[in-house]
Amino acid sequence: MGEAGRRLGGGATRRTIALVASSAAKTAKPGLDFVPLTCDYRERTYAAGKIPGGFFKREGRPTEKETLSSRLIDRPIRPLINKQWTFETQVMATVVSSDQEHDADVLALIGGSTSLVLSDIPFPSRSRVSASAAWTASSS
């Protein structure tokens, strides 16, 4: 996003866009025996052009799909981070725009690993590939 995010005065889009950002703490937490990685995936209702009204004016806790998509991002990334890395690290994915045809979780997974490669976090710069597959029973 960089310069484009600062210069943007307005815009409209008709495709699925996920903003994925990663960051790490400046100081390490000594004595941890695990990689402190947090992956968060959120699909906002405004991405599909829906604004919540009535009693629920704000979006609450993550849905089941958002929780599973967060795990989908976390599982391939976690083994690639060095076990001695004790800096708290976050990968945040937010669906900014959705065309409601294409799912954004695979886009967020690829964006998560790309944002880690582009950041100052020591992460191997190998390509990541992801795909979604589904089976449906045809009704005859």
| 120's tokens | 């100052």
pLDDT band at 8 (very low <50, low <70, confident <90, very high): very low
pLDDT band at 122; cut points 50, 70, 90: confident
Q: What pLDDT sits at residue 27?
A: 92
Residue 131: which pLDDT band, with cuts at 50, 70 and 90?
low
Taking residue 69's Cβ as centre, other Cβ atoms within 10 Å add up to 25
70 contacts 41 by C-beta, under 8 angstroms: yes
Q: Are 40 and 92 in contact (CB under 8 A)?
A: yes
Q: Which residue segments constitute the domains of the chain, with CATH numbers given?
A: 14-118 (3.30.230.70)
Largest CA distance in the chain: 61
Q: Which residue has the higher pLDDT, 78 or 57?
A: 78
pTM of the predicted structure, to 2 decimals: 0.75
pLDDT tens sequence across 31-77: 888 889 999 999 877 666 666 666 665 667 788 989 999 999 998 88
Of 16-20, 22-26, 97-101, 103-107, least confident by mean pLDDT is 97-101
- Sheet of 37-43: strand order equals 17-24, 89-97, 37-43
The long-range contacts involving 102-106, CB below 8 angstroms and separated by at least 24 positions, are 102/15, 102/16, 103/16, 103/132, 104/16, 104/17, 104/18, 104/43, 105/41, 105/65, 105/69, 105/72, 105/73, 105/132, 106/130, 106/131, 106/132
- What is the predicted pLDDT for the residue at 114? 87
